[in-house]
Structure 1
Amino acid sequence: MEVINTFMTWIFKNRIGQIEKFKNNPLEIQREILFKLIHTAKDTEFGKKHHFRQISSYKDFNQWIPVHDYEAIMPYIQQTMKGRQNVIWPTPINWFSKSSGTTGSRSKFIPVSPESLEDCHFKGGKDMLSLYVNNYPETKLFTGKSLSIGGSLQTNPLDVNKNSSSGDISAVIMRNLPKWAQLARTPSLEVALMSEWEEKIAKMAQETIKENVTSLTGVPTWTLVLIKKVLEITHSDNILEIWPNLEVFFHGAVAFGPYRNLFQNLIPSKNMHYMETYNASEGFFGIQDQKNSEELLLMLDYGIFYEFIPMEDFQNNDPEIIPLDQVETGKNYAILITTNAGLWRYKIGDTVKFTSTRPYRFKISGRTKHFINAFGEELIVENAEKAIENTCKRTGTSISNFTAAPVYFGENQEQGTHEWIIEFVELPKDNAFFTSVLDEELRMENSDYDAKRYRDMVLKIPIVHFAAQGLFEKWLKSKGKLGGQNKVPRLSNDREYLEEILKLL
Structure 2
Amino acid sequence: MAILGALIKGIIDISDKIIAESNPIDEQREVLIELLRKAKNTQFGEHYNFESLLDSENPLTAFAEQIPFFDYNSLNKQWWSKLHEGESDVTWPGTPDYFALSSGTTGKTSKRIPVTNEMIDAIRNAGIKQVGALAHFDLEADFFEKEIMMLGSSTDLAEKDGHQEGEISGISASNIPFWFRGYYKPGEEIAKIEDWDERVQHIAEKAEDWDIGALSGIPSWIELMLEKVIEHHNLNNIHEIWPNLQVYTSGGVAFQPYEKSFNALLGKPITVIDTYLASEGFIAFQARPETDAMKLVTNNGIYFEFVPMNPDYINEDGSIVQDAPVYTLAEVEEEKDYILIISTVSGTWRYLIGDTIKFTDKARAEIKITGRTKFFLNTVGSQLSVNKMEAAVQELEEEFDIKIPEFTIAAKRNPVDDEFYHYWYLGTETTVPNEELASKLDASLQAANKNYGVARSKALKGVFVNTVKPEIFYEWSGANKKKGGQVKMEKVMNEEKFAEWEAFVKEHTQG
TM-score tier, shorter chain, comes to over 0.9
Distance 2:134 2:389 in 1: 29
Could you tell which deviates more after superposition, 125-134 or 175-184? 125-134
Aligned to 2:317: none
The answer as to 2:40 corresponding to 1:36 is no
Distance 1:367 1:260 in 2: 20
Aligned to 1:102: 105
**Structure 1's 358 and 138: CA in aligned 2 closer, same or farther, altered over 3 A?**
same
- RMSD (Å), alpha carbons: 2.1
Cα pair 1:213 1:245 within 8 Å, conserved: yes
Cα pair 1:403 1:498 within 8 Å, conserved: no
Amino acid aligned to 1:326: E
Distance 2:94 2:139 in 1: 39
Q: Indicate the SS of the match to 2:181.
A: helix
The answer as to 2:227 corresponding to 1:228 is yes
Cα pair 1:397 1:428 within 8 Å, conserved: no
Amino acid aligned to 1:138: E
Cα pair 1:332 1:365 within 8 Å, conserved: yes
Could you tell which deviates more after superposition, 311-320 or 341-350? 311-320
Work out which of the residue numbers 359, 363, 383 in structure 2 matches 1:358: 363
Distance 1:496 1:5 in 2: 54
Alignment of 1:32-431 (within 5 A): 32-55=30-53, 56=55, 57-75=59-77, 76-119=79-122, 121-152=123-154, 159-160=160-161, 163-270=162-269, 272-312=270-310, 314-315=313-314, 316-408=321-413, 412-413=417-418, 415-424=419-428, 426-431=429-434
Aligned to 1:12: 12
Amino acid aligned to 2:295: L
| Alpha-carbon distance, 1:37 to partner | 0.7
| Alpha-carbon distance, 1:305 to partner | 0.8
**Percentage of identical aligned residues:** 31
- C-alpha deviations, 1:100-119, integer Å up to 9, x for none? 32233121111111111112
| Alpha-carbon distance, 1:300 to partner | 0.7
Alignment of 1:449-464 (within 5 A): 449-454=452-457, 457-464=458-465
Aligned to 2:509: none
Could you tell which deviates more after superposition, 105-114 or 291-300? 291-300
Aligned to 2:498: 498
Instruction: Give ranges in structure 2 of 5+ residues lacking alignment.
Output: 315-320, 506-511
Aligned to 2:483: 482
- C-alpha deviations, 1:51-85, integer Å up to 9, x for none? 11222322332233222111221142232244433
Distance 2:440 2:141 in 1: 40
Q: Indicate the SS of the match to 1:266.
A: coil
Cα pair 2:149 2:184 within 8 Å, conserved: yes
**Structure 1's 15 and 115: CA in aligned 2 closer, same or farther, altered over 3 A?**
farther
**Structure 1's 251 and 95: CA in aligned 2 closer, same or farther, altered over 3 A?**
same
Distance 2:206 2:436 in 1: 43
**Structure 1's 398 and 411: CA in aligned 2 closer, same or farther, altered over 3 A?**
closer
**Structure 1's 13 and 123: CA in aligned 2 closer, same or farther, altered over 3 A?**
farther
| Alpha-carbon distance, 1:441 to partner | 2.1
| Alpha-carbon distance, 1:99 to partner | 1.7
* TM-score, normalised relative to structure 1: 0.92
Distance 2:431 2:84 in 1: 49
- C-alpha deviations, 1:459-503, integer Å up to 9, x for none? 2341111102321222222213322211111123x2233221211
Instruction: Give ranges in structure 1 of 5+ residues lacking alignment.
Output: none
Distance 2:35 2:287 in 1: 27
Runs of at least 4 residues off by over 6 Å: none
| Alpha-carbon distance, 1:295 to partner | 1.6
Distance 1:364 1:28 in 2: 23
Distance 1:310 1:140 in 2: 45
Could you tell which deviates more after superposition, 394-403 or 375-384? 394-403
Distance 1:460 1:397 in 2: 27
| Alpha-carbon distance, 1:165 to partner | 1.0
Aligned to 2:508: none
Cα pair 2:70 2:350 within 8 Å, conserved: yes
Cα pair 2:153 2:170 within 8 Å, conserved: yes
| Alpha-carbon distance, 1:325 to partner | 0.9
Distance 1:206 1:79 in 2: 45
Q: Number of residue pairs matched? A: 493
Cα pair 2:152 2:485 within 8 Å, conserved: yes
Distance 2:354 2:148 in 1: 30
**Structure 1's 115 and 14: CA in aligned 2 closer, same or farther, altered over 3 A?**
farther
- C-alpha deviations, 1:411-431, integer Å up to 9, x for none? 833x4221011111x223343
Amino acid aligned to 1:340: V
**Structure 1's 83 and 191: CA in aligned 2 closer, same or farther, altered over 3 A?**
farther
Q: Indicate the SS of the match to 2:461.
A: coil
**Structure 1's 221 and 63: CA in aligned 2 closer, same or farther, altered over 3 A?**
same
**Structure 1's 15 and 435: CA in aligned 2 closer, same or farther, altered over 3 A?**
farther
**Structure 1's 14 and 193: CA in aligned 2 closer, same or farther, altered over 3 A?**
farther
